[in-house]
Homo-oligomer: A and B are copies of this chain.
Amino acid sequence: MVNDRTVASLGEFGLIEHCFKELGRTDVPGVSVGIGDDAAVLLVPRTQDLLATTDTLVEGVHFTSDTDPVTLGWKTLCVNLSDIAAMGGEPRWYLLSIALPSTTSLSWVEQLAQGMNEAGKQFRVTLVGGNTSRTSGPMVLTLNLFGVVGHERALMRSGANVGNRIYVSGTIGDSTLGLRHLQKTDQDTSNNIDVETQYLIKRHLRPDPRIALGMALVDAALARAVIDVSDGLLADLGHLCRASGVGADLDLEKIPLSAAARTWLGNGGQEKWKTLLTGGEDYELLFTVAPGATDQLPALAANLGLPLTEIGVISKQEGIRLFEGGQPMVIQESGFRHF
């Protein structure tokens, strides 16, 4: 704790001045007017389209009251960055709206801002406005992120065709396994946990949005349909298929898993696969590629230093079918439901 003061001691404007003004970066293009006026004034390059997304994290739903605020700041920005990545965009500017109890400690907010600043620096995005409000209840953090993408080049969910190969970046299921560990373990024991568990927890707390991959998919005009995996692989593949009016056949043996997830999976089984494929918060990109273009994927993966794995094929028949060793497996589809 840097100090014991609460946000009430600063007031709304003081809090913004003290904690958030430094999040306005000068190395991000297109900011004519940033924090401090009635609205931000932003310049979208003439050859580009604007991307706009928003995501909310609620205390008690998306994070707990003892979540490290630095980590939370990072994650709040990164879950939005993942949406821009899924459109193939270059992220630029964000607005931040936070509703806080007046008893929130100032150092907590300072650390939240620190985590956002770390992500902002890494992904070159800048705060351009927002607001702070008091609430009597759980904290609510809402972030709006803007990006740019070449005119009519944005990657949509709706372009998948029958016969397209289905790819996913990175590995699936790590985040939900990390969350499971956090939910059943006292975080003070984190020094005693093994390397694999540490990896899983880091994957949950510090997602790495696939901005470079999204932009590369636009440059190479490779992807027919793209979505980020936030609700769980099966749920998000379902969104993509419905938007495209197609179905999918997935081969479980091809699903890319980390060494830690593979250790946990052991001999597999329906319940364990369900955990991995429906847990969510992977923040990987799921995309489809025409069969004639898949030979470009290995070089792209090597350039990015990121595994890109073919896991199935788009089919005409609606719905998602899973196969393990050629045998169908039934998993009740269930993404993260909010109500």
Contacts and interface: CB of A to CB of B under 8 A. Distances in A.
A158 B136 CA distance: 35
Given A138-B135, A144-B144, A338-B133, A39 B83 contact: yes
Interface in A72-119: 83-84, 86-87, 89, 93, 95, 97, 99-100, 102
A275 interface: no
Interface stretch (A147-155, A162-170, A190-198, A253-261): A147-155
In the complex, the count of this chain's copies comes to 2
A54 B154 contact: no
A306 interface: no
A37 interface: yes
Contact-residue size bin, chain A (C-beta under 8 Å from the other chain):
35 or more
A4 interface: no
A227 B38 contact: yes
Interface in A51-86: 51-56, 58, 60-62, 83-84, 86
Contacts of A138: 135-137
B61 A50 contact: no
Nearest to A7: B339
A142 interface: yes
B339 A102 contact: yes
A339 B11 contact: yes
A339 B137 contact: no
Contact of A54 (B89, B95, B157, B227): B95
Nearest to A38: B86
Contacts of A142: 54, 56, 97, 140, 142
Given A38-B86, A39-B84, A134-B338, A46 B46 contact: yes
B53 A39 contact: yes
Interface string A116-134: 0000000000001111111
A58 B52 CA distance: 23
7 contacts: A11-B338, A37-B157, A41-B87, A60-B135, A100-B339, A135-B137, A140-B142
